[in-house]
């Protein structure tokens, strides 16, 4: 994959949607992108856990955790599983934990914040539904690109 630099993507493709600021980079890969897979869940990462166990095929999981600051939706073990199964990264509208280990993982991870409490496991969540947060709707099959400058979304592959 070509180098991802979101300001350059914005300059070259003015039609991209730009996600409002507020996300931090936690993964070992600081610039990543790929086709979007969505998960909508609230304080329950059951569907995230299920998905990272499947082949990622270079895709990016966009997780709408409702912006919750009470539970982490990703930790080091799930991040390692995602990396080993070929996911390019995860963008989480919520929290992550075990960030020192996640930072050593060959995976892109952006989230709002860190929080040490793990999520609940109730088997709840939706897969491959449009999710909206920070001013952008993420649709399965569209593309997302992220780096230290921000996150952009496109209907088609850009790199």
Residues that constitute the known binding site for Mg(2+): 98
The helix/strand/coil state of 87 is coil
Residues belonging to the binding site are 75-78, 97-98
- Is residue 116 left, alpha or beta, with left meaning phi > 0 and alpha meaning psi from -120 to 50? alpha
Tokens of 60: 């990016």
* CA pair distance 155, 149, nearest whole angstrom: 20
Residues belonging to the binding site for substrate are 75-78, 97
Closest to 48 (Cα-Cα) out of 139, 147, 123, 115:
123
């Amino acid at each position: 994959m070509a180098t991802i630099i979101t300001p350059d993507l914005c300059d070259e493709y003015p039609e991209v949607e730009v996600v409002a600021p507020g996300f931090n980079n936690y993964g070992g890969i600081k610039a990543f992108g790929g086709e979007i897979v969505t998960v909508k869940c609230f304080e329950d990462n059951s569907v995230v856990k299920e998905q990272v166990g499947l082949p990622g095929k270079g895709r990016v999981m966009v997780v709408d955790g409702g912006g919750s600051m009470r539970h982490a939706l990703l930790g080091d073990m799930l991040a390692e599983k995602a990396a080993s199964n070929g996911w390019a990264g995860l963008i989480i509208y919520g929290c992550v934990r075990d960030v020192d280990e996640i930072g050593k993982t060959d995976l892109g991870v952006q989230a709002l914040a860190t929080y040490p409490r793990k999520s609940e496991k109730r088997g709840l969540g939706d897969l491959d539904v449009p999710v909206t947060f920070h001013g952008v709707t993420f649709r399965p099959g569209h593309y997302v690109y992220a780096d230290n400058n921000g996150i952009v979304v496109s209907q088609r592959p850009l790199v």
